[in-house]
Amino acid sequence: MLALPPENHHYAYFSEKEFEKFLKSFSSFKGSIPIKLALQLLIYTFVRSGELRGARWEEFDLEKKEWRIPAERMKMKEQHIVPLSKQTIELVNVIKLISNGSKLLFPCRTDTNKPISDNTLSKAFRDQGYKGIATPHGMRATASTILNENGFAPDVIERQLAHSERNKIRAAYNHAMYLPERRKMMEWWGNYIEERINND
């Protein structure tokens, strides 16, 4: 199966080998705990950085293992479902403990009604030594490339990336398209990341 080209080539993204090195770097992460957790959630879900930064607790249903991002927060203005792997659910529960009762998962330190800035995530990549090597948005291309190389169907990957559906009738039902396949894929992705973080 041919791999899809990475999304937005101008965003720096990891090769698989570089990605494994990046995952290992979390053991010596230089930033704050909330920013470390934000980066980890970005890796496990590969949503756009704006979708991550604006994440609200009301969007999460841990019993259903879903994060439903409302249409108004999506680039394509369509609701998006992110299936949550067991590792992601554990991570979200940790984030809950330190969110200080905010409606946001990642509130700004100076105003808990506002999310952290995009520059905060970009700076975290730079501080870890990855300036020019990878960006927060580049995590999407990294995930896409690795998932394609491991045999997941391109249509399933594209749907999880929340790319635009040209057919407007199909688009109305897009949020649940390929959902069973996407659940399996996201569980695989969670295990893939966990294995590489823990593999010494």
Question: Annotated catalytic sites, by residue?
Answer: 48, 75, 137, 140, 163, 173
Rounded Cα gap, residues 83 and 193, in angstroms: 15
Rounded Cα gap, residues 9 and 2, in angstroms: 17
For 112, phi then psi, to 5°, come to -70, -5
Please name every residue paired with 69 in a beta bridge, in sequence order, or none if there are none. Answer: 80
How close are the terminal C-alpha atoms of the chain, in Å? Answer: 31
Distances (CA, A) of 160 to 81, 128, 177, 185, 193: 8, 27, 9, 9, 17
Rounded Cα gap, residues 88 and 7, in angstroms: 23
Rounded Cα gap, residues 162 and 145, in angstroms: 15
For 14, phi then psi, to 5°, come to -85, 145
